[in-house]
Amino acid sequence: MALGKLATLLDMIKFEHTIFALPFAYIGLILGAGGLPLFSTFCWITLAMVGARSFAMALNRLQDSGIDKKNPRTSGRALPAGLVSLSETLLFIAASLAVFFTAVFFLPDLCRRLWPVVLAPMACYSLTKRFTWACHAVLGLCLGLAPMGAWVAATNTLPTAGIWMLSIGVMFWTAGFDILYSCQDYEFDAREGLYSVPVRFGIPLALKLARILHGLTVTFFGLMGFCFSLGPVYYAGLAVIACFLWYENSIIQPGDLSRMNAAFFTANGCVSILAFAAVLAAVLFPG
């Protein structure tokens, strides 16, 4: 029974989507360590990432449960459908925070000082769509902090220019795919008075903005490679990433959102894994 409830909670927060942010945290670790990081640091940053994301997603589901119940696309989610209770969700949030703070305790001193910078935007992201169409940028900030936090964990120093380039690229990438995803709820959001780029500017212009943001993603990933002198192996990987981003945007059209799952999960999962593999190969096999 308990395991079944945990499985429902993990499905509620889409635990598998951790793959979007975790590889970029590992990139920050690898670049900070100049190669493979200490195994202990790898473990603690993994736990910190899992705890932080689980906290953020569970809180997001809790804050949005009333909205989700009204939306036909989301009414089957665990909270509005009654598959988990309020108390169970709060317990899961508390457990996620316990995992996060335990991991942070074992990370360098600077991590213990900066943890509010990580949790604050995660705690308020889902609320922003109630008052600004820039909510997608807040989600981008949440994921963009992953490589920064990992760099701090590996070096106990503030991020360098190269890590800033990576984080800005991640922010643009995330904001772009979140804009695409929000197109599904255009009619519902407009009717309920919620804010998003599609509601503010219309779906056709929103899709164009997503393409621009993903073009900037490739640009800033390229600048990161330049800052760290990653070499041709990395740029070959970046070229493949650019192809996946082109594919993601090409299969979503104003009158046809039917391939959103392929664009959102498959393509973006490939982007994050490819970015990690390209950086790892460039650092371990320079030249």
* 221 falls within a domain: yes
pLDDT score for 120 = 94
pLDDT digits (tens, 9 = 90+) for 176-206: 999 999 999 999 999 999 999 999 999 999 9
pLDDT score for 215 = 98
Q: What is the CATH number of the domain that holds 180?
A: 1.10.357.140
Q: What is the DSSP code (8-state) at residue 16?
A: G
pLDDT score for 119 = 94
pLDDT score for 104 = 97
Q: Is the CB of residue 201 less than 8 Å from the CB of residue 209?
A: yes
* 224 falls within a domain: yes
The encoded tokens of residue 177 equal 């795919």
For 163, the domain range is 20-281
Query: For the purposes of burial, counting CB atoms within 10 Å of the CB of 65, is it exposed (0-12), middle (13-18) or buried (19 or more)?
Result: middle
* 198 falls within a domain: yes
* 178 falls within a domain: yes
Give the confidence band of 13 by pLDDT, cuts at 50, 70, 90: confident
Partners of residue 256 on adjacent β-strands: 253
* 7 falls within a domain: no
Domain count of the fold of the chain: 1
pLDDT score for 1 = 53
pLDDT score for 287 = 66
pLDDT digits (tens, 9 = 90+) for 206-251: 999 999 999 999 999 999 999 999 999 999 999 999 999 999 999 8
In Å, how far from its chain's centre is CA 219?
A: 19
Average pLDDT rounded to a whole number, residues 275-282: 96
* 243 falls within a domain: yes
Give the confidence band of 267 by pLDDT, cuts at 50, 70, 90: confident
Range from 24-28, 62-66, 134-138, 250-254 carrying the lowest mean pLDDT = 250-254
Percent of the chain with pLDDT over 70: 99
pLDDT score for 43 = 96
Average pLDDT rounded to a whole number, residues 65-91: 92
pLDDT exceeds cutoff 90 at 160: yes
Long-range contacts, stretch 116-122, CB < 8 angstroms, 24+ apart: 117/145, 118/52, 118/145, 118/149, 119/52, 119/55, 119/56, 121/145, 122/52, 122/53, 122/55, 122/56, 122/59
pLDDT score for 256 = 79
* 41 falls within a domain: yes
* 91 falls within a domain: yes
Q: How many angstroms separate the CA atoms of 120 and 141, rounded? A: 11
Give the predicted TM-score (pTM) of the model.
0.95
